[in-house]
Chain A
Amino acid sequence: MKARLLALLPFALAIAVYLVASHLRLAENPQDKILPGLGQMGEAVQRMAFAPDPQSGDYVLWKDTWASLKRIGIGVGTAAVLALLAGLNMGLRPWLKTVFGDFLTFLSMVPPLAILPILFISLGVDELAKVTLIFLGVFPVMARDMLLTVEKVPREQVTKAITLGASRWDVIYRIVMPQVIPRLVDNVRLALGAAWLFLIAAEAIAATEGLGYRIFLVRRYLSMDVILPYVAWIVVLGFVFDWSLRTFIKRWYGWYLVTK
């Protein structure tokens, strides 16, 4: 309990420093927008999340959240599934690794943001380009890690499975896959940070909704009262995902935490 309280200390300190600085600035100029107080931010949240937008009638924060999560979900989800399949098949079918191994390494060296213009030009400015950016940003690293994980499964286990009657397909999907899934979930946890980066970059450049889009939109009006709650909201979302994935592993893959 004491440790918990100590862990909260830096948070409390940061908030306190901000509030003092904000208070001092507002005391000097009540119109100041750079360091809004809690009241101003509360009003902004009320306006963005709990009241319909006067023009479109949307609840903007929820609409932005839904749009962003959909992009991240599809991008990271597709990357995870394909990374799993790529890792399993390249790890257990040597000829596939021979063919695609170097290409995968090459792909992982390409800085995704550098090819963002290419994506916008070739895929249009709609959802596909944004999702593709997230996918390209997280897939190669995940796939390479899954490959290494699959290769680390002792060869003895594969031979043993065959003597127990396993087919090639059984070995891949019934013996090895269940063993590497928790590692895949760990990979998703790590990839989410990068995914947010690519999402916000893509949304900042071309979008009509989304958390990143909103932040870059209101920046023009120096609306720190909107930006700060949005950033906090992104942090909360990230934390919730990480926590749920960790809990998922703990609940279903207890052996993984002990033996890894």
Chain B
Amino acid sequence: MKDKSSADAALHIEDLYKSYGPKLVLENVDLSTSPGTFCSVVGPSGCGKSTLFRMVLGEETPTRGLIHIEGERVTGPGTDRGIVYQRYSLYPHLTVLDNVALGRNLRTPLRERLRDRKVIRDEAMTYLKRVGLDQHAAKYPHELSGGMQQRVAIAQALITQPRLLMMDEPFGALDPETRESMQLFILELWEEYRMTIFFVTHDMEEAVYLGNRVLVLSQHYIDDRGPGVQRGSRFVADYELPSAVQSTKVKNSPAFLELVQEIRRVGFSPDQLRHVAEFNLRHPDSFQTLTGDERRS
């Protein structure tokens, strides 16, 4: 647990709290990520994954605590982040090509945009080719299958070369086969571009297969404050995994299955609670700040 300065980190979250009225959702969340990490965040439904996602996005403000991206404080949505949602990533009124080119078009002033129309078009086409959909450039999003739509959404986010690519259950609405091929595909892209990825999912296998760092967000833990205290979710485990792209067959290997089982134990079961001081936070980037109440020395 070393203390990393927030300026070096691709994403740095410290002492983050979020409550809605009396309900405490996130409590004392700490996270620091080196650039180029594929961070998957997994947790039971209702643990506040999406709340955390929206705060990193800048759509919601933390009740307490700060979020920094490459040393810059997050105050709202910004161009340093690219997003892929489960749905609604594509604009229904634009063709596939225009959807991908949108990031370029929005950033180019009108006069240059008219002058460089062909350049922008070609660039969008390059990205579309990379996701294997150049044949569908002239179609509208509703004419594509769910998997194809997500590919376009990824190309749309990548064209602006964001420092942090954020994905919220991007493959959640896909059938298992498409889902697996999309998982392989996003790993290939990650290997190619090496961007930092913040990937939120409730699927433990997906989190373990994709991330080279897996963080478990959960409300199931105990601390020195005793029973009867309302506790918000925090990271209860943090694993470092190999970053090489592996075939999806690895999902059946004993080591993989064992890790999934362990995540289920530490994050998803309300009857096996661990103490905050005993979390598995052995990832080299991991750090944890505990308040005096949570950990009485």
Contacts and interface: CB of A to CB of B under 8 A. Distances in A.
B91 A164 contact: no
Contacts of B228: none
B81 A163 contact: yes
Contacts of A174: 106
B71 interface: no
A251 B168 CA distance: 35
A196 to B, nearest CB: 31
B20 interface: no
A164 B106 contact: yes
A254 interface: yes
Contacts of A256: 92-93
A164 B103 contact: yes
A157 B91 contact: yes
A179 B91 contact: yes
A111 interface: no
Given A253-B93, A255-B140, A259-B142, A163 B79 contact: yes
A222 B140 CA distance: 57
Contact of A163 (B77, B88, B92, B140): B77
B69 to A, nearest CB: 12
Interface in B44-89: 57-59, 76-79, 81-83, 85, 87-89
B93 A255 contact: yes
Given A178-B93, A255-B142, A165 B79 contact: yes
Given A156-B89, A175-B91, A164 B142 contact: no
Nearest to B162: A163
Interface in A130-165: 154-157, 159-165
A174 to B, nearest CB: 7
B107 interface: yes
A159 B83 contact: yes
B160 interface: yes
A57 B245 CA distance: 86
B233 interface: no
Interface in B140-189: 140-142, 156-157, 160, 162
B124 interface: no
Nearest to A160: B83
B140 to A, nearest CB: 5
Contact of B92 (A156, A160, A162, A259): A259
A162 B78 contact: yes
B93 A159 contact: no
A161 B160 CA distance: 12
A170 interface: yes
A178 B76 CA distance: 25
A258 B142 contact: yes
B204 interface: no
Contact of B106 (A154, A166, A178, A253): A166
A179 B142 CA distance: 14
Contacts of A179: 91-93
Contacts of B77: 159, 162-163
B170 to A, nearest CB: 12
Which of B58, B76, B77, B141 has the most C-beta atoms of chain A within 10 angstroms of its own C-beta? B77
Interface in B85-107: 85, 87-89, 91-93, 102-103, 106-107
Contacts of A166: 106
B106 A155 contact: no
Given A159-B77, A255-B142, A259-B142, A165 B89 contact: no
Contacts of B58: 159
B106 A165 contact: yes
A157 B88 contact: yes
11 contacts: A154-B88, A156-B87, A160-B89, A162-B76, A163-B160, A163-B162, A174-B106, A179-B93, A253-B93, A255-B141, A256-B92
Instruction: Give 10 closest A-B pairs by Cβ, nearest first.
Output: A165-B107, A164-B103, A165-B106, A156-B88, A162-B77, A154-B88, A255-B140, A178-B93, A166-B106, A159-B77
Given A156-B85, A157-B88, A164-B156, 6 more contacts: A155-B59, A160-B88, A161-B102, A163-B83, A164-B107, A170-B106
Interface of B: 57-59, 76-79, 81-83, 85, 87-89, 91-93, 102-103, 106-107, 140-142, 156-157, 160, 162
